[in-house]
Amino acid sequence: MKQNYRLLFELSLNSRIRRKELCTRLAISPQLLNYLFKKIEKKRLLQYCVKTDPAKFGLINIAVLIAFTSFESKNRVLESLKSNDYVFSIKELTHGADLLVEYAVPNLSFFNKLHTAFLELYWDKVKVLDIVPIIVKHVFPIKYLYAKSKLNSKKIYSGDREMLSFSNSEKLVLKELLSSPQISHVGLAQKTKLNIRTVLKTINRLEKINVIKDYSIIPSISRLNISSCIVFVNLDYLEPGRVDKFISYVLNLQEVTSAYKLMGRHALFLEINSLKSYKPVLNKIRDEFKFYDYLLYDVKEIIKDDHLPLEVLG
């Protein structure tokens, strides 16, 4: 099982890594690597994804906490949200709320129209508990899958960023990559009807300007038995500088995978994941910063994540 976790960790850093390099990193044979891949695919332990920054497309992110009032329509509600191009992520929760839905939208008016249309369909099936605009995201490597990792970095998403414009070839390549994260360069050339040199040059530019931030994975919380939670924290009683210290502190905890700054009473959002239990990590953070006003939800599964609306690419 340890080899599975180490493989998933390497794929989270670069899911398009060459298998020969993976063998070297893991110090295993190609035959064993093929066996591990077949195993994780058979057990559906992950989804592949291309991580992009919605802010570079002029989008803002908004989080919505939802509770079901009728579980008979749960699947219908989930299918509606999954098929919505502007739904960026969906996390299924337990205890206190049932879903955390994140939208990536051009503006608040656009979100209001989307959200109102959703509620008109399911007003008697769901209750909205909270709506929170996201200011900025600090995303960390998922080191909890590999405790020996020395990575100590973060990537920033959203926030105050300049919107970029894209050529037709960049839109075509990015759209195909988002739809099929594991597609080969040759496959991209065939799908986009661009020559292979143009495809390679386009990908290099998208990576260089940080439109493509990572080729990564979405681990299955339930199938990997990951202990996972999200925490909304009120830090109003801390002086402003302490908020940045808080984020610097959690960066060094391998179980914390992201920290969001939010608008509202609970101005910080943490994601904590562990192969054991997240509770000792949460207690450690609480001991360090003495916060008491927080909302805690267990994550049951990640249904959809890191979905850039394809409509923005035409």
pLDDT band per the 50, 70, 90 thresholds, residue 29:
very high
AA identity, residue 294: Y
Average pLDDT rounded to a whole number, residues 216-231? 96
Question: Is 80 exceeded by the pLDDT of residue 1?
Answer: no
The class level of CATH for 2-43 reads: mainly alpha
Q: Which of 3.30.70.3460, 3.30.750.210, 3.40.50.300, 3.10.20.30 is the CATH number of 54-142+220-304?
A: 3.30.70.3460
Let me know: does 93 contact 299? Beta carbons within 8 Å: yes
The answer to whether domain 2-43 and domain 54-142+220-304 are alike in fold is: no
This model's pTM is above 0.85: yes
**Packing angle between helix 279-289 and helix 240-251, nearest 10 degrees?**
150
Q: Is CATH 1.10.3120 the right assignment for the domain spanning 165-208?
A: no
Domain residue ranges of the chain, discontinuous segments joined by +: 2-43, 54-142+220-304, 165-208
Q: What is the mean pLDDT of the chain?
A: 92
AA identity, residue 262: L
pLDDT tens profile 111-157: 999 999 999 999 999 999 999 999 999 999 999 999 888 888 889 99
pLDDT of residue 3: 76
